[in-house]
Amino acid sequence: MSTFENPGFLAIELDGAGWDGADLTRAVLAAESAGFHAATFTDAPAPGRANALQRAAFAGPVTRSIALVPEVDTVYTEPFHISTQLASLDYVSGGRAGWIVTAAGSPEAAAAVGRSSVTGAALGQEAAASIEVSRRLWDSWEDDAVIRDVATGRYIDVDKLHYADFQTPAGFPGAGYSVKGPSIIPRPLQGQLPVLAPASLIGGIPVDALDAVLVSAPTPELLAAEVRDVRARVGAGVAVVAELDVVLDARGQAAAARGASFDGGRAAFAGSAPGLTDFLADLLKEADGVRLHPASLFVDLEELGRWVLPELRRRGALRPVVQDGTFRDLLGLDRPASRYATAAAAPAGAGK
Amino acid sequence: MKQHTRAKSEVFVPSGQIQFGVFFQGVNSGTIWKAPESGSQTDFESFRRIAQTAERGLFAAFFLGEGLRLREHLGRPHALDVVGRPDAQTMLAALASVTKNIGLVATQNTTYNDPADLAHRLASLDLVSGGRAAWNIVTTDNAWTGANFRRGGYLDHADRYKHAEAFVETAKRIWDSWETPDGPARRVLHEGRRYTVDVTPRLPRSAQYRPVLFQAGDSPEGRNFAARQADVIFSAHPKFEDAVAFRKDLVERSLAAGRGANAVQIMPASEFILAPTAAEAAEKKEWVRSLQIGPQQAIAYLEQFWGRELSAYDPDGPLPEIDPVVEETSETRGSGFHGAKARQLADQWRAEAKDKGLSIRQFVTSKTARIDSTFTGSYTAVADQLAEYARVGAVDGLNISPWLVPSGLDDIVNHLVPELQERGVYPTEYRGATLREHLGLETPVRSADEAVAAVRA
Ligand SMILES: Cc1cc2nc3c(=O)[nH]c(=O)nc-3n(C[C@H](O)[C@H](O)[C@H](O)COP(=O)(O)O)c2cc1C
């Protein structure tokens, strides 16, 4: 994966668009017309941030090609709700939904729902359990469960509905629980939504539960090495996405003078659009995708759309954007059969 | 923001107006899926079309129901009716971007949600929609639904409204927490029997201050809860005499709760079967009923009460002579039927059907839910009927469950709404930008509590 024989994709974090409907529309349309492949929505407990999944849902009907990928916490959110909300996002976006798994470790998140806080390795285990619940529930209706058979009066074929019967594994750190199923919504359009998680949760989350990992490094110089490192751990079947904060020279102001404050923990690129283009072109030889976190959404998005993405496309570094394509298509993933589908229809190991 | 407040009054004053809402049920036996024009129940286009048609007809609100476990029949998922629907708030957030005015009402229960999380998500929906969100509060409490949740089925039926009230109080404090539109936010503490909540809210108030509160539940506790907490009650009493009696009951409860006689609006569930003439409407009704209650639906309906397979019986013949196998009725879970002694019920029904000369199918058609909630007739006759509802203030609005998706509102919007407008009993434009304004509800007054607002229950 070291040349543009495998062009990559670009995602942009739209947090700066706030909660206002008009701003959200403007941001996601700007990102789509700039040629971004995916928009992400953070769920960190910061003031003024509306629910990430709802912001993604709002963006669904006004867009045609951009994947919509909210962060959803797995520790203090009911897994059943997560699963049905994400499946619904897939319906309202025409199969362009994904999920960035997060695991809230803050005492504030625990206090809000009156639970004791979860930390350390337990976070990954909580996340893994929630992912497994969601994946089972998404599969709990086989694709052709809705039959609408007038002759027999049956709307669904109950043989194609399945109880998820999830039970937290032995040694689960928090209070164990079970989820019965089936889902209350038919299988999502993509069958299974692509599931992404930060590399820091790998271990707690088994690699084969994920479709992509988000990789951070402290500096831009270390990012490609970190990507290679994670790639070695997860293999070729899981997409590797590099995380990058970005502030560009814009509107006659040097990037350094724009006073961007990044929250740390992520590599930050400050400089000119051509400089960023070169940097991304190199990075995309190692990573399947890069997620950009712009310092100022609208200012940097304009620069990116005008200078950076067109040049990356010209160089062949980017995958084509497919109108009405699914997020799985973008990631090069097949649509899996339901794990519960009858043996003949389901190859072994399918269903991720 | 424009304000349409009414003075707090001891006497109920009819507004002389009727509003419409649309209840996209998603799971039910009333929506016809067998006709060629029956569309998808999950595709976004169905929701968009219904919501946009409703908005063209100046409907106050678009409602989505909720059920957190699939209904079952004889121990398996129920195969015969429409089933499987998107999550309410996710769908409404998507609809917010393709509508401008219509209110967006999410049915969400107080048992399988966490108050801080639900309050935050509703506040989000309210902000992204520009002040159009509402919460239809329901109190599902069975362990069978609880099997889908981490906290499990922990709530006794008797406690459902106690818990709901603490839940709603906490949500209100959360929505109340910002001093000004720019902050700062007050920390909200609630130490309850079921939950402890300690949160500093992240979202400011919306253009309508906070989501409008609907309540759907019919017991005396449910009505009292609505009288204390809700802006609107989603009732099950659309028939004229029942509606008038329900209004009287609710006015008394509102006054007893220290609120005005007009404080809680009433919007019953309803169904419309309309045509240019009465004869055509009657014919259409036959057709609608035959598709709602087909032969299999009729048998399955009896099976719920008999607790056994009855597929050997002829739907066009008499009720089964064999007896139910269970002492207590085995309801279609989640459908809201209440238990009765099965044997006794069977005897009673057999006698009734024999008396009236009804076949299984005819009998079940006569028993099923929407019969009482149906307005059938010509556009003009139904408009006259509704004008009378408006004149006496029997209801504030009607929540229409379309029996066809996605075209089910077309004739209502194209023909009934103009008739009502001519009679001066239906809005001719949206009154403002928010749902609270459409409904003419008072803007809540922020409570004057200290920096930390603590509720105990
Ligand atoms: C018109 C109406 C609509 C309702 N819709 C729902 C619904 O969508 N989801 C749900 O869980 N319960 C729904 N309910 C049930 C109520 O929320 C409540 O749980 C039930 O009526 C029991 O409360 P009660 O004993 O006060 O009636 C509805 C009730 C009414 C009257």
What are the two backbone dihedrals, phi and then psi, of residue A116, each rounded to the nearest 5 degrees? -80, 150
Distance B217 CA to ligand 1 centre (A): 5
The verdict on a CB contact (< 8 Å) between B90 and A85 is yes
Of B76, B95, B196, the CB nearest to A114: B196
Cβ of B90 within 8 Å of Cβ of A47? The answer is: no
Put simply, the answer to whether B199 touches A108 (Cβ < 8 Å) is yes
Q: Which of A246-260, B175-189, B261-275 has the lowest mean pLDDT?
A: B175-189
Lowest mean pLDDT among B53-57, B232-236, B289-293, B368-372: B368-372
Say how far apart CA A135 and CA A333 lie, in whole Å: 15
Q: Which atom of ligand 1 is nearest to the CA of B25?
A: 8
Is the pLDDT assigned to residue A99 strictly greater than 60? yes
Segment B31-55 shows an average pLDDT of 97
pLDDT band at residue B351 under the 50/70/90 scheme: very high
pLDDT value for B184:
84
How many CB pairs below 8 A link A and B?
189
* Cβ of residue B66 lying under 6 Å from some atom of ligand 1: yes
Of the candidates A181, A191, A184, which has an alpha carbon nearest to the alpha carbon of residue B25?
Answer: A184
Q: What is the pLDDT of residue B151?
A: 87
Task: Extract the tokens encoding A270.
Answer: 């400050």
pLDDT digits (tens, 9 = 90+) for A203-225: 999 999 999 999 999 999 999 99
Please name every residue paired with B61 in a beta bridge, in sequence order, or none if there are none: B21, B103
Please determine, for residue B144, whether its predicted confidence score (pLDDT) is greater than 80: yes
Cβ–Cβ under 8 Å, residues A247 and A187: no
Residue A42 CB coordination number (10 Å): 18
Average pLDDT, chain A: 93
b/e for B197-234, b at 16 or more Cβ within 10 A?
A: bbbbbbbbbbbbbbbbbbbbbbeebbbbbbbbbbbbbb
Distance CA A52, CA A14 (A): 10
Tokens 């059920």 belong to residue: B67
- For residue B451, pLDDT beyond 90: no
Q: Collapsing DSSP states into helix, strand and coil, what is residue B236?
A: coil
Distances (CA, A) of B99 to A281, B56, B91, B214, B431: 41, 10, 12, 21, 16
Q: Where are the alpha helices (DSSP H) in B129-277?
A: 143-146, 160-175, 220-229, 240-256
Q: Is the CB of B111 under 6 A from ligand 1?
A: no
Q: Ligand 1, closest atom to CA B268? A: 1
Residue nearest to atom 4 of ligand 1 (CA): B216
**Around A281, how many Cα atoms within 13 Å sit in the side-chain half-sphere?**
15
Q: Which pair of structure tokens corresponds to residue A251?
A: 């509107």
Please name the residues in contact with A270: beta carbons below 8 A apart, sequence gap of 6 or more: A246, A247, A248, A255, A256, A260
Per-residue pLDDT at A348:
44
Q: How confident is the model at residue A4 (pLDDT cuts 50, 70, 90)?
A: low
Q: What is the pLDDT of residue B283?
A: 97
Residue A9, φ and ψ in degrees, nearest 5: -130, 160
Strands A267-271 and A239-248: parallel
* Residue A10 distance to chain B (closest CA, Å): 24
Q: What's the confidence (pLDDT) of residue A352? A: 45
Pocket test for ligand 1, best of B138, B332, B337 (most atoms within 8 A of CB): B138
Interior angle at CA B228, CA B226 and CA B229, nearest 5: 65
- Distance (Å) of CA A266 to CA A222, A246, B250: 10, 10, 58
What are the tens digits of pLDDT across the range B212-248?
999 998 999 999 999 999 999 999 999 999 999 999 9
Share of chain B above pLDDT 90, in %: 76
A155 with B81: Cβ contact below 8 A: yes
Rounded distance from Cα A215 to ligand 1 centre (Å):
46
Q: Which amino acid is at A166?
A: F
Phi, psi of B204 (to 5 degrees): -75, 175
Residue that the structure tokens 């204390």 belong to: B228
* Separation of alpha carbons B373 and A283, rounded Å: 63
Cβ separation B44–A80 shorter than 8 A: no
Query: What's the pLDDT score for residue B371?
Result: 67
Average pLDDT over residues B253-272: 96
pLDDT at B340: 54
User: Mean of the pLDDT values across residues B72-84?
Assistant: 91
Q: What DSSP string describes A118-129? A: --THHHHHHHHH
**What is the C-alpha to C-alpha distance for residues A155 and B78, in angstroms, rounded to an integer?**
9
A259 token code pair: 């006073």
Please tell me the predicted confidence (pLDDT) of residue B445.
82
- Cβ-nearest to A111 among B79, B125, B199: B199
Q: What is the DSSP string of A225-285?
A: HHHHHHHHHH-TTSEEEEEEEEEE-BTTB-GGGG-----SSSEEEEE-HHHHHHHHHHHHH
| pLDDT at residue B1 tops 80 | no
Whether the pLDDT of residue B304 is over 90: the answer is: no
Ordered strands of the B103-109 beta sheet: B265-266, B232-233, B212-215, B133-138, B103-109, B61-64, B19-24, B397-400, B269-275, B374-378
Asked whether residue B427 carries a pLDDT value surpassing 50, the answer given is yes
Model confidence pLDDT, tens digit, residues A48-96: 889 999 999 999 999 999 999 999 999 999 999 999 999 999 999 999 9
How many C-alpha atoms does B189 have within 13 Å on its Cβ side?
Answer: 8
Output Rg (C-alpha) for chain A, integer angstroms: 20
| Helix, coil or strand: residue A352 | coil
Query: If we measure between CA atoms, which residue out of A213, A248, A257, A246 comes closest to residue A232?
Result: A213
Q: How many CB atoms lie within 10 A of CB A116?
A: 10
Residue B92, by phi and psi: left (phi above 0), alpha (psi -120 to 50) or beta?
alpha
Q: Does B135 contact ligand 1 (Cβ within 6 A)? A: no
DSSP codes, B317-375: SPPPSSPPS-SB----TTS-----BHHHHHHHHHHHHHHHT--HHHHHHHHSGGGGGEE
Which tokens in the block code for residue B185?
Answer: 């936010």
Instruction: Kindly state if the Cβ of B393 falls inside 6 Å of ligand 1.
Output: no
* A110 — pLDDT class (breaks 50, 70, 90): very high
* pLDDT at res. B457: 36
Better-scored residue on pLDDT, A349 or A249: A249
Contacts of B360 (CB under 8 A, 6+ apart): B298, B299, B302, B313, B314, B315, B316, B317, B318, B319, B353
Structural element, H or E, at residue B282: helix B278-292
Residue type at position A347 = P
Q: Which one, of B142, B134, B31, B13, lies nearest residue B369 by Cα? A: B31
Q: Are B69 and B77 in contact (CB under 8 A)?
A: no
Query: Least CA distance to A133: which residue of chain B?
Result: B148
- Mean predicted confidence (pLDDT) in A329-335: 96
Mean pLDDT of the B444-455 span? 58
pLDDT at B308: 85
Single-letter amino acid, residue B267: M
For residues A247 and A260, the answer to whether their CB atoms sit within 8 Å is yes
The ipTM assigned to this model is 0.95
HSE value, Cβ hemisphere, 13 Å, CA-based, for A278: 5
Cα dihedral sign for B154, B188, B123, A326? negative
* Average pLDDT of the residues in B294-313: 89
Q: How many C-beta neighbours within 10 Å does residue A236 have?
A: 9
Burial A85-103 (b: 16+ CB within 10 A, else e): bbbbbbbbbbbbbbbbbbb
Percent of chain B whose pLDDT exceeds 70: 92
pLDDT digits (tens, 9 = 90+) for A220-268: 999 999 999 999 999 999 999 999 999 999 999 999 898 787 876 899 9
- Facing residues of A166 across strands? A179
Per-residue pLDDT tens over the stretch B112-129: 999 999 999 999 999 999
User: Cα(B152)–Cα(B145) distance, rounded to whole angstroms?
Assistant: 8
DSSP-derived letter for residue A17 is G
CB burial class (10 A; 0-12, 13-18, 19+) of residue B355? exposed
In chain B, residues with a C-beta closer than 8 Å to the C-beta of A112 are 114, 116-117, 197-199
Q: Return the pLDDT at A344.
A: 47
Lowest mean pLDDT among A192-196, A238-242, A328-332, B441-445: B441-445
A225-231's contacts with Cβ under 8 Å and 24+ in sequence apart are: A227/A283, A227/A286, A227/A287, A228/A286, A230/A199, A230/A202, A231/A1, A231/A286
